């Protein structure tokens, strides 16, 4: 696995103050993660015997035994419910009505009408409602979603999921409601459609009328079929999902060392008889990230940015509808047909950035508020783009790239892995960035990408080429069509092939000329003075390079040609 991040640092305190309600079997894991993310403010559990252990482990964290205390606490922004499923509706409803954002463990509720009420209430109160479908944040499932979306598996025909264990056996809910929500959530997300037919069979061996084993079968409108087998009466733990496609088969095994493996098996017809031709498994490289940590971080991010979660209320309601259909089929012993109007309209995700309908932004890309992504552009998973940036038409932003705030990228630019772009950088149309000095199609150098650093405020002209491994200094200016093969100093103006320095430019992009007797040059637009502090090192005498421009100098009032003519006139008058 590749090394990945585990969310927010434990060094700082989150802006979101969370109360975890229910700190038992699963709640203790949620409490640990929110505490490590710096967001845990309150622990609540009706069992007072756990108070001492909580206070010992989480020093300084408030503990209460009454949920009403959490609701009255104005310092609590969000409530995380890890209580029995039968309590989810009433507690989530009370938290939403109290103005709290809510993360509720699966399932959303045990009654479809209650789930519908919660989704409507969250929308009316403008609150975040998220359901703890943890597999939606598992690196293997995220990668599997991308593989299916990109067509790597071919036409999907069949899925099956086994979730089997010998462990915690519940009496307040059956195995279907305890185990199957995870798998239903994954299957619905991979296929992006609701089933039209559901059958379910099971057996109750320990407690009468509480099934310990169920097998559910699903027919989807596209022709895909799936089944989900769950049991808490199994000698070993098994959590496996198999996806069968026309090109490859995928196996997600959460108990194995390699959690996602692709098998490019083929079926050949020999003498009109189908014959399996087996192939070696292909291990899929995954990010090293704890799914629960990713889920908790995602909830905090959504609360802070006011964006809809991946496993939002609408997604939780879809899972609840399928669970309800399975339960009715289990009781009735027959097939349950989902009504045609049962599919809820998905919540419209309120993103902090704008993306044109023809643009594609992968899940897992981080994009700041106010950024605009225009026609036919693609931002890949793992890319990070800051606030107020503009991504023009037909731009590709690769995984692993970092783009700062207020960056302007014009049309037809590819930003490859290994490129780091700081704040206020301008990339002209069709400029070229590279990440391998000696590329060969026959030689895989994906692990040898070289870092190219474009420092704050620099400009790359149209059709310029930046050979990888170089640094473009702060406020440097690379002329149109130049080919840069070595580092460019701060404020340097470079042109040609190979690019060479022909002068200096100001922070406002004007060529600096005619130094006085002290070597001081003045920007025609801003009036700021510049001087070489050492040979080949230019500094602004009036403003630190990292300081923002004053508001009155952040918007141009005269064109480049106007300022050039004025400077020429002043120079003529002085000589006369």
Q: pLDDT, tens digit, for every residue of 166-210?
A: 877 776 678 899 899 999 999 999 999 999 889 999 988 888 788
CA 80 to chain centre: 21
Among residues 432, 541, 429, which one has the least CA distance to residue 491? Answer: 541
The per-residue pLDDT for 335 is 63
Query: What CATH number does the domain located at 137-288 have?
Result: 3.30.360.10
Q: How far apart are CA 303 and CA 297, in angstroms?
A: 10
pLDDT under 50 in the chain at which residues?
Answer: 1-11, 339-345, 347, 570-576
pTM equals: 0.58
Among residues 66, 74, 18, 72, which one has the least CA distance to residue 42? Answer: 18
Read off the pLDDT of residues 27-51 as tens digits, 9 standing for 90 and up: 899 999 999 999 999 999 988 888 8
Q: How far apart are CA 560 and CA 477, in angstroms?
A: 15
HSE value, Cβ hemisphere, 13 Å, CA-based, for 533: 9
Q: For residue 534, what are the β-bridge partners?
A: 537
Q: How far apart are CA 127 and CA 351, in angstroms?
A: 15
Q: How many residues does the chain have?
A: 576
The per-residue pLDDT for 89 is 95
Q: Which two tokens stand for residue 48?
A: 């007072």
Q: How far apart are CA 477 and CA 298, in angstroms?
A: 39
CB 417 within 8 A of CB 401: yes
Q: How far apart are CA 546 and CA 540, in angstroms?
A: 11
Q: How far apart are CA 53 and CA 63, in angstroms?
A: 11
Q: So where are the chain's domains?
A: 2-134+291-310, 137-288, 511-576
Q: How far apart are CA 440 and CA 265, in angstroms?
A: 29
Among residues 357, 340, 339, which one has the least CA distance to residue 348? Answer: 357
What is the sign, positive or negative, of the torsion defined by CA atoms of 93, 94, 96, 97? positive
Q: What DSSP element (H or E) covers 2?
A: strand 2-3
CB 31 within 8 A of CB 39: no
- What is the second-level CATH architecture of the domain 2-134+291-310? 3-Layer(aba) Sandwich (3.40)
Q: How far apart are CA 429 and CA 456, in angstroms?
A: 19
């Amino acid at each position: 696995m590749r090394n990945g991040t585990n969310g927010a640092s434990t060094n700082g305190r989150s802006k979101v103050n969370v109360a975890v309600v229910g700190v038992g079997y699963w709640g203790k894991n949620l409490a640990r993660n929110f505490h490590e993310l710096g967001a845990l403010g309150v622990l609540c559990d009706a069992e007072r015997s756990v108070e001492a252990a909580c206070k010992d482990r989480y020093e300084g964290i408030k503990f209460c035994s009454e949920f009403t205390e959490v609701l009255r606490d104005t310092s609590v922004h969000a409530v995380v419910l890890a209580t029995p499923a039968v309590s989810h509706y009433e507690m989530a409803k009370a938290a939403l009505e109290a103005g709290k954002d809510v993360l509720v463990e699966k399932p959303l509720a045990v009654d479809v009408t209650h789930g519908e009420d919660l989704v409507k209430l969250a929308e009316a109160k403008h609150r975040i409602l998220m359901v703890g479908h943890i597999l939606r944040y598992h690196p293997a499932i995220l990668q599997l979603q991308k593989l299916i979306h990109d067509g790597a598996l071919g036409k999907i025909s069949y899925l099956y999921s086994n979730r089997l264990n010998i462990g915690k056996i519940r009496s307040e809910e059956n195995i279907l409601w305890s185990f199957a929500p995870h798998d239903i959530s994954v299957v619905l997300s991979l296929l992006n459609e609701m089933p039209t037919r559901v059958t379910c069979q099971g057996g109750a061996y320990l407690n009468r009328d509480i099934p310990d084993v169920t097998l559910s079968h699903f027919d989807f409108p596209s022709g895909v079929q799936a089944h989900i087998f769950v049991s808490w009466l199994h000698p070993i733990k098994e959590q496996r999902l198999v996806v069968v496609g026309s090109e490859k088969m995928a196996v997600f095994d959460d108990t194995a060392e390699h959690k996602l493996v692709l098998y490019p098996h083929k079926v050949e017809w020999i003498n009109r008889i189908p014959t399996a031709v087996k192939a070696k498994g292909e291990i899929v490289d995954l990010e090293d990230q704890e799914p629960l940590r990713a889920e908790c971080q995602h909830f905090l991010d959504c609360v802070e940015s006011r964006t809809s979660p991946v496993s939002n209320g609408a997604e939780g309601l879809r899972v609840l509808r399928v669970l309800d259909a399975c339960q009715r089929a289990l009781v009735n012993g027959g097939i349950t047909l989902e009504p045609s109007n049962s599919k809820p309209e998905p919540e419209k995700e309120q993103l902090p950035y704008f993306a044109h309908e023809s643009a594609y932004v992968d899940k897992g890309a981080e994009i700041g508020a106010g950024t605009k992504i225009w026609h036919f552009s693609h931002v890949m998973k793992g890319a990070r783009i800051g606030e107020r940036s503009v991504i023009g038409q037909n731009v590709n932003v690769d995984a692993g790239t970092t783009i700062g705030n207020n960056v302007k990228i014009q049309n037809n630019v590819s930003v490859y892995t290994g490129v780091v772009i700081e704040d206020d950088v301008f990339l002209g149309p069709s400029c070229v960035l590279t990440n391998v000095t000696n590329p060969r199609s026959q030689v895989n150098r994906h692990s040898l990408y070289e870092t190219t650093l474009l420092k704050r405020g620099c400009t790359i002209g149209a059709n310029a080429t930046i050979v990888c491994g170089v640094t473009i200094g702060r406020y440097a200016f690379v002329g149109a069509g130049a080919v840069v093969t070595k580092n460019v100093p701060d404020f340097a103006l470079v042109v040609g092939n190979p690019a060479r320095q022909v002068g200096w430019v100001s922070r406002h992009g004007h060529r600096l000329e005619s130094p006085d007797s002290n070597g001081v040059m003045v920007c025609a637009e801003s009036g700021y003075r510049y001087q070489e502090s050492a040979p080949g090192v230019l500094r602004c005498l009036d403003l630190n390079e990292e300081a923002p421009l004053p508001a009155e100098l952040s918007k141009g009032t005269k064109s480049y040609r106007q300022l050039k003519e004025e400077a020429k006139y002043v120079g003529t008058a002085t000589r006369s």
